[in-house]
A and B are shown apart, each in its own frame.
Chain A
Amino acid sequence: MFANHLLPALINLPALPLAGFWFGEAASTGAQDVDQLFALINWMCLFFFVLIIGMMCVFLFKYMKRDGHKEEWSPSHSNMLEIVWSVIPTLLVALLFVLGFKGFIDMRTPPANAYDIGVTAYKWRFQFDYPNGAQDEELHAVVGQPVRLVQQSNDVLHSLYIPAFRTKMDVVPGRYTYQWFEATKAGTYDLFCAEYCGKDHSNMNSNVVIHETQAEFDAWLAKINTPPDNPIEWGEQLYTRKGCKQCHSTDGTARPGGGPSFQETYGKTHQLIGGGTVVGNENYILDSLRKPQSQIRTGYKGITMPAFPRSLVKDKEVDALIAFIKSLSPDYVPEVETVPEVETPEEEGTIQDEVATESAEEPEPEEEPEVESVEKTDEMPDEEPEESAKENGETP
């Protein structure tokens, strides 16, 4: 068939440089197909552009008003011409349609032997879940191995875009979406979120790392699947990896538009919007992760904080994060030389059972502050409820 064999051969030779100039490096099988088609369209555009603008310039030059020049009669309609310039473009765009259609079907049809990697997008991170249970914020794969991304969103629309592979698919809450690629070159490539998703949309990028060999990939996979022994160290890693860092500082300062600092979290009593207080203990941190809208502290716009279900932060990881947050508290006294024993029994927390939290039992997100924009500026000073101060700390 014409479209199958002759045409690609025809456009291949002169076309590639034209596409190579426009796009960056092509690093997947699909990318090469896209570049070829793009080049064909470029040639077509170039032809029509030169035709139209060239004729325009010639006419301007020839028929510009000057002494002695007068308009001449010429027919003011011609069905023949109208047919020519309707039918020829119709045929050309029909060709483009067919080629684009074919390429698109290829893009939407992953090979049967594809390696599935789960993607969970949330504000403002991509998390990649590998079949062995490992999770990372980088996408890793091997040269020559088709990879299918099974995408889901934890909050709003996102879109996973890898320019070097010429592939993109929206990540839509409430359904799975898919895209696939087969990398042809080892290396590190950029990955972007391409669908606007709120404040840190422009910082929702990551890397794609393509390994040369399967062994290299397996070694990496094994490495990320073994967390550090020390929970504080692990918690600190998770603090960056899960994206807490974007909104929560560790030094007591408030990030613009973000949430409370982790330094201020553990062991303090916090005022809640809508009245009541809550003590910053393990349950408070757990609830803040799993259902953040249930307890919004005064001075913050709780709506920004996405919920982190188990698929994003596993229970073990919550333990590690709690250990890390605990360690940030000004009253924290490190365990003396007993490294493996860090999982301190949390008696203090449970003794100090909060009595005043029932007013904040609002799982629905309706309970938002009405005037967010006002608060954005002043979240910094009022986050320390005076009466809380230091009623108990870490006195192991």
Chain B
Amino acid sequence: MNATADSIDDGGNEPAENYLNCSNTIASWAFTLDHKRIGVMYLVGICIALLLGGLFAMAIRLQLWMPEGMLFDEQMYNEIFTLHGAIMVFLFIIPSVPATFGNFFLPIMLGAKDVAFPRMNLASFYLWVFGTIFFVAAMLFTGLDTGWTFYTPYSAETSKAPVVAATMGVFILGFSSIFTGLNFVVTVNTMRPPGMTWFRMPLFLWSIYATGVIQLLATPVLGITVLLLGAEAVFHIGIFDPRYGGDPVLYQHFFWFYSHPAVYIMILPGMGIISELLPVYCRKPIFGYKFIALSSIAIALLGFLVWGHHMFVSSESTIAAVIFSGLTFSVSIPSGIKVFNWLATMYKGNIHMNTGMCYVMAFMFLFTIGGLTGLHLGTLATDVPLHDTYFVVAHFHYVMMGGALIAFLAGIFHWWPKMFGKMYNEFWGQVSAMLVFIGFNLTFFPQFYLGTLGMPRRYASYEGREGFPISEALVDQFTHLHRVSTGGAFVLATGLVIAAAVLLAALLWGRRAPRNPWGGATLEWTCTSPPIHSNFIDTPSVGDPYFYENMEWDPELGGFKTLPPAKPIETSEHQPAGSE
């Protein structure tokens, strides 16, 4: 499975030149067509977005420490939660995994030198940068306060400058997303090496492929929607605003037709990371390969049919609500299949609790809660009281943050040695995982309870208005729960800061990374750490991405080495799981 093993040994003496130091002018980064450098630049940008969104999140949590609001007046709070939501969704989660790990590892896992359209890839990055600056500046300077959802008619009637500017930003970001998705779909379709059939692809590629399909099909609808919204705000064309004969609920349909599939743009790559990491750390082939692969496609397709479940109380017709509820439950099945297959992969394994695996376990725990609470929201009768309360806030943070962000962290710890050639401190890495896990649950679990008690979303204060105070018992309960949540947010933030510190410290003081520190069998572990500019010296031959029996821990290397195949036929005999 490792053809390069003959030409380069397993990592004892790496070549001095790699993609990071093969050229070092600013222009060599700014105009690079190397998918790895673009991935690294995306990583930097996305981490800045995460930091920014995180700071606004902390501001929100602090505000809610006091029932009357601790820091800001209502207007300011509304602008801050808009910034938090919009930055996290459009600038962090949607591009996060595909743009960083997808860019960096998709070509390598295919044994290719680059993606199919390297220039388009660079264009996608610059569109993201341009869109981000435009979007954040628009929100900061115009005081956008519509929430990240831009619901009409509020967004069309509130001063038009913020909405038009911000939606232009979204429009630009959408193109960045489309370019990335298109690139990946074409790359996977056309550049698979000889021998890598669809069902011998690493599962990460399946999930990135499914994500690319959603990005291609759904993002144009977002573009159309925000253009129409801008036209409504400026020209009053009368499509969304009832004052001009429009229909505000139509906007919600348009918006969620993109934004629900976008939920799967966020979570599918995360699931791909888990499918990739879990077998490596359990030293077992992935269980039910075909089912995991196809469930990604099923989720991508079914994800297009359920947008109406965001609108059960929006006055959409009863029959539509019923249909959307039924379809919504159908999405839960492929997600469940993935979780059960991951569990079965652990069975009889040899589980290495490295930092990456700690994050994978955190993902399993949090995503299970996030998924199960989706049942309360998909069931029509129980969704009615829970809709637009903190229950929903908790649910989507468990899925989006407990799912997508934790998977992102798992991936970053898993692939950091490969990307930068340095090992991090394992102990502090695990401490960060522990703190993130505990902090996360402290922050968001109380929010389920807040929601069932009736705390609505997007409230700057919860004491009620003059003459109509919210009942005392309820305010007490709200206060306690919000305070636990705020406390938890600080634990969570500490964990994330430690995680960042561990990774940055590794760059400076880390031990040199071996070629294959965790014993992965996908192709990225056969190239050097960090990879050379062209990834591989010779085109690698493809084996089973989840076959670990020919690997052995070598204490001298500090990593795994591949044993020469005992019988040359063995790898081809051991078919990938589910290829029958």
A63→B375 contact, CB < 8 A? no
Residues of A within 8 A of B322 (CB): 101, 104
Q: How far is the CA of A48 from the CA of B376 in the complex (A)?
A: 14
A77→B288 contact, CB < 8 A? yes
Query: Known: A100-B380, A166-B384. Contact between A56 and B361, CB under 8 A?
Result: yes
Q: How far is the CA of A38 from the CA of B352 in the complex (A)?
A: 39
Q: Which of A81, A104, A193, A198 contacts B384 (CB under 8 A)?
A: A104
Among the 9-residue stretches B210-218, B220-228, B337-345, the one with 4 or more Cβ atoms under 8 Å from chain A is B337-345
B388→A168 contact, CB < 8 A? yes
Residues of A within 8 A of B509 (CB): none
A100→B157 contact, CB < 8 A? no
Q: How far is the CA of A195 from the CA of B465 in the complex (A)?
A: 17
B460's nearest neighbour on chain A, judged by CB, is A202
Q: Which of B74, B336, B462 contacts A199 (CB under 8 A)?
A: B74
Residues of B within 8 A of A41 (CB): 375-376, 379, 382
Query: Known: A86-B337, A196-B154. Contact between A100 and B75, CB under 8 A?
Result: no
B145 at the interface (CB under 8 A from A): yes
Residues of A within 8 A of B326 (CB): 97, 101
Interface size class of A (residues with CB under 8 A): 35 or more
Contact with A along B374-411 (1 / 0, CB 8 A): 01101111111101110000000000000000000000
Q: Which of A94, A193, A303 contacts B158 (CB under 8 A)?
A: A303
Q: Which of A72, A188, A199 contacts B348 (CB under 8 A)?
A: A72
Residues of B within 8 A of A175 (CB): 242, 315
A372 at the interface (CB under 8 A from B): yes
Query: Known: A22-B452, A45-B375, A65-B352. Contact between A159 and B388, CB under 8 A?
Result: yes
A199→B78 contact, CB < 8 A? yes
A71 at the interface (CB under 8 A from B): yes
Among the 9-residue stretches B127-135, B259-267, B279-287, the one with 4 or more Cβ atoms under 8 Å from chain A is B279-287
A201 at the interface (CB under 8 A from B): yes
B381→A59 contact, CB < 8 A? no
Query: Known: A34-B385, A37-B382, A59-B347. Contact between A85 and B337, CB under 8 A?
Result: yes
Contact with B along A236-259 (1 / 0, CB 8 A): 000010000110000000001100
B368→A53 contact, CB < 8 A? yes
Q: How far is the CA of A301 from the CA of B350 in the complex (A)?
A: 66
Among the 9-residue stretches B53-61, B101-109, B175-183, B466-474, the one with 4 or more Cβ atoms under 8 Å from chain A is B466-474
A74→B347 contact, CB < 8 A? yes
B385→A365 contact, CB < 8 A? no
A303→B380 contact, CB < 8 A? no
B453's nearest neighbour on chain A, judged by CB, is A24
Q: Which of B77, B142, B468 contacts A373 (CB under 8 A)?
A: B142
Q: Which of B313, B337, B382, B465 contacts A205 (CB under 8 A)?
A: B465
Chain B: minimal CB distance from A255 (Å): 10
Residues of A within 8 A of B332 (CB): 89, 93
B287→A76 contact, CB < 8 A? yes
B141's nearest neighbour on chain A, judged by CB, is A373
Q: How far is the CA of A55 from the CA of B387 in the complex (A)?
A: 32
Chain B: minimal CB distance from A230 (Å): 20
B459→A202 contact, CB < 8 A? yes
Contact with A along B230-264 (1 / 0, CB 8 A): 00000010000011000111000000000000000
B147→A196 contact, CB < 8 A? yes
Q: How far is the CA of A278 from the CA of B248 in the complex (A)?
A: 35
Chain A: minimal CB distance from B424 (Å): 19
B384→A59 contact, CB < 8 A? no
Tell which of A73, A85, A155, A188 has the most Cβ of chain B within 10 Å: A85
B251's nearest neighbour on chain A, judged by CB, is A157
B425 at the interface (CB under 8 A from A): no
Chain B: minimal CB distance from A365 (Å): 7
Chain A: minimal CB distance from B168 (Å): 16
A108 at the interface (CB under 8 A from B): yes
B452→A170 contact, CB < 8 A? no
Q: How far is the CA of A155 from the CA of B153 in the complex (A)?
A: 8
A94→B350 contact, CB < 8 A? no
B344→A81 contact, CB < 8 A? yes
Residues of A within 8 A of B347 (CB): 59, 63, 74
B391's nearest neighbour on chain A, judged by CB, is A22
Residues of A within 8 A of B333 (CB): 86, 89-90, 93
B577's nearest neighbour on chain A, judged by CB, is A76
A64 at the interface (CB under 8 A from B): yes
Residues of A within 8 A of B77 (CB): 202
Q: Which of A48, A101, A256 contacts B325 (CB under 8 A)?
A: A101
Residues of B within 8 A of A189 (CB): 471
A76→B153 contact, CB < 8 A? no
Tell which of B247, B361, B381 has the most Cβ of chain A within 10 Å: B381
Contact with B along A47-62 (1 / 0, CB 8 A): 0110011011001100
Q: Which of A78, A161, A166, A376 contacts B456 (CB under 8 A)?
A: A161
B388→A376 contact, CB < 8 A? no
A192 at the interface (CB under 8 A from B): yes
A198's nearest neighbour on chain B, judged by CB, is B154
B388→A34 contact, CB < 8 A? no
Chain A: minimal CB distance from B204 (Å): 18
A156→B378 contact, CB < 8 A? no
A44→B375 contact, CB < 8 A? yes
Q: How far is the CA of A156 from the CA of B285 in the complex (A)?
A: 55
A70 at the interface (CB under 8 A from B): yes
Query: Known: A63-B282, A190-B454, A199-B78. Contact between A97 and B346, CB under 8 A?
Result: no
Residues of B within 8 A of A342 (CB): none
Chain B: minimal CB distance from A85 (Å): 4
Query: Known: A59-B343, A74-B348. Contact between A168 and B385, CB under 8 A?
Result: yes
Contact with B along A16-28 (1 / 0, CB 8 A): 0000001110000
Residues of A within 8 A of B454 (CB): 24, 161, 163-164, 190, 192
Chain A: minimal CB distance from B12 (Å): 25
B23 at the interface (CB under 8 A from A): no
A341 at the interface (CB under 8 A from B): no
A100's nearest neighbour on chain B, judged by CB, is B379
Chain A: minimal CB distance from B532 (Å): 32
Contact with B along A151-193 (1 / 0, CB 8 A): 0000111010101101111101111010000000000111011
Q: Which of B147, B339, B453 contacts A52 (CB under 8 A)?
A: B339
A48→B289 contact, CB < 8 A? no
A370 at the interface (CB under 8 A from B): yes
A96 at the interface (CB under 8 A from B): yes
A99→B348 contact, CB < 8 A? no
B427 at the interface (CB under 8 A from A): no
Chain A: minimal CB distance from B339 (Å): 6
Chain A: minimal CB distance from B457 (Å): 7
22 contacting pairs across A/B (C-beta < 8 A): A23-B453, A24-B474, A48-B368, A63-B350, A65-B351, A71-B283, A71-B284, A81-B288, A104-B321, A104-B322, A137-B468, A166-B384, A168-B388, A170-B314, A170-B315, A173-B248, A192-B454, A192-B456, A194-B457, A198-B158, A200-B465, A368-B159
Complex A-B, nearest 10 residue pairs according to Cβ-Cβ distance, in ascending order: A103-B381, A163-B454, A174-B242, A100-B379, A104-B380, A203-B465, A202-B459, A76-B577, A166-B385, A71-B350
Residues of chain A having any CB pair with chain B under 8 Å: 22-24, 33-34, 37-38, 41, 44-45, 48-49, 52-53, 55-56, 59-60, 63-65, 69-74, 76-78, 81-82, 85-86, 89-90, 93-94, 96-97, 99-108, 137, 155-157, 159, 161, 163-164, 166-170, 172-175, 177, 188-190, 192-207, 240, 245-246, 256-257, 301, 303, 365-366, 368-373, 376
Interface contacts beyond A77-B287, A93-B329: sample of 14 additional A-B pairs, CB < 8 Å, sorted by A: A45-B375, A63-B349, A64-B353, A74-B347, A89-B333, A97-B378, A101-B380, A104-B380, A172-B249, A190-B454, A196-B154, A199-B145, A205-B465, A245-B466
